[in-house]
Amino acid sequence: METFRRYEKKYLLEQSQYLELMDKLKDRISKDKFFEADIRSIYYDTKKFELIRRSIEKPEYKEKLRIRSYNEPKVNDLVFVELKKKLDGIVYKRRTKAYIEDVLNDIYECQFKDPQVGEEIKYALNYYDHLKPAVYIGCNRTSYVANDDRDLRITFDKDVRYRMKHLDLKASKDDKPVTEKIIMELKVRNAMPLWLTEALDEVKAYPRGFSKVGTAFLKEIRGE
């Protein structure tokens, strides 16, 4: 069973900001153990997209259910199944694994590797009534950790793309861009260190609420 509890802050960076920030942080951060990843996720929702619509409204509490792989999974590969909740700015994530074919064929009946987390996921599935695959989100991610605090992680997502048809975890020519900017996310357990705050101020990078899946949904319904 994997459980995460942390604060997360997102930033949208221009390429010039990203390069300037990396130069300022080069002596403060190091590549994470899993430095590069081709992240592929499918978010589940109701027929009326209630979870995504609620997320867009930025409520005090929200949750997401998704499956995720860090490469293109083969037929018999395991993928992560994640229940992610956010309350008062703190993110809680419960995660287990299941076989990709079982999940995509019928997530309600698939066998989760961790039964306890699996029960929580099944409760969410039943609570929201007929959750189904709704949006695919893909991106190329690089991950870093602070040299003086291994609990401080910084990730950069590029080539962020989505589709709302043919929802599997394979690459597709149907993918559309979510944003041309680089999405930086800071993941911390406690307060952000002063050296990082100063570096962000110097490159004029400020936190903002940004949801990949929410932005993709809005682009789709607007026909962008």
The pLDDT of residue 8: 87
**Would you state the pLDDT for residue 119?**
92
Residue for token digits 């929410």? 214
Residue 223's CB: how many other CB atoms inside 10 A?
Answer: 5
**Which amino acid is residue 17, in one-letter code?**
Q
pLDDT value at residue 61: 87
pLDDT at 86: 86
* Amino acid type, 19: L
Read off the pLDDT of residues 193-215 as tens digits, 9 standing for 90 and up. Answer: 999 999 999 999 999 889 999 99
What distance lies between CA 38 and its chain's CA centroid?
12
Q: Quick: pLDDT tens for 37-82.
A: 999 999 999 999 999 998 888 888 889 999 999 998 988 899 999 9
Q: How many domains does the chain have?
A: 1
Which residue in 133, 132, 134, 108 sits closest to 121, CA to CA?
Answer: 108
pLDDT of residue 57: 86
Boundaries of domain holding 196: 2-222
Question: Predicted confidence band at 6 (pLDDT cuts at 50, 70, 90)?
Answer: confident
* Count of all residues that appear for the chain in the document: 224
DSSP string, the chain: -EEEEEEEEEEEE-HHHHHHHHHHHTTTEEEEEEEEEEEEEEEEE-TT-HHHHHHHT--SEEEEEEEEESS---TT-EEEEEEEEEETTEEEEEEEEEEHHHHHH-TTTPPPSSHHHHHHHHHHHHHSSS-EEEEEEEEEEEEEEETTEEEEEEEEEEEEEEESSS-SSS--TT-EEEESSEEEEEEESSPPPHHHHHHHHHTT-------HHHHHHHHHHHT-
pLDDT surpassing 80 at residue 1: no
Query: What's the pLDDT tens digit per position in 137-186?
Result: 999 999 999 999 988 999 999 999 999 998 999 888 889 999 999 999 99
| Mean pLDDT over each residue of the chain, to the nearest integer | 92
Q: What is the DSSP string of 188-208?
A: ESSPPPHHHHHHHHHTT----
pLDDT confidence band for 2 (50 / 70 / 90):
low
pTM of model > 0.75: yes
Q: Domain containing 8 — which CATH number?
A: 3.20.100.30
State the virtual CA torsion across 150, 60, 142, 107 in degrees, nearest 10: 110
Q: Say whether pLDDT at 136 is over 60.
A: yes
Dmax of the chain from CA atoms?
51
- The pLDDT assigned to 209 comes to 84
How far apart (Å, rounded) are the C-alpha atoms in residues 45 and 135?
A: 8
Between CA 72 and CA 58 the distance in angstroms is 31
pLDDT of residue 88: 79
Has residue 22 got a pLDDT over 60?
A: yes
Asked whether the predicted pLDDT for residue 4 surpasses 80, the reply is no
Q: What is the pLDDT of residue 24?
A: 98
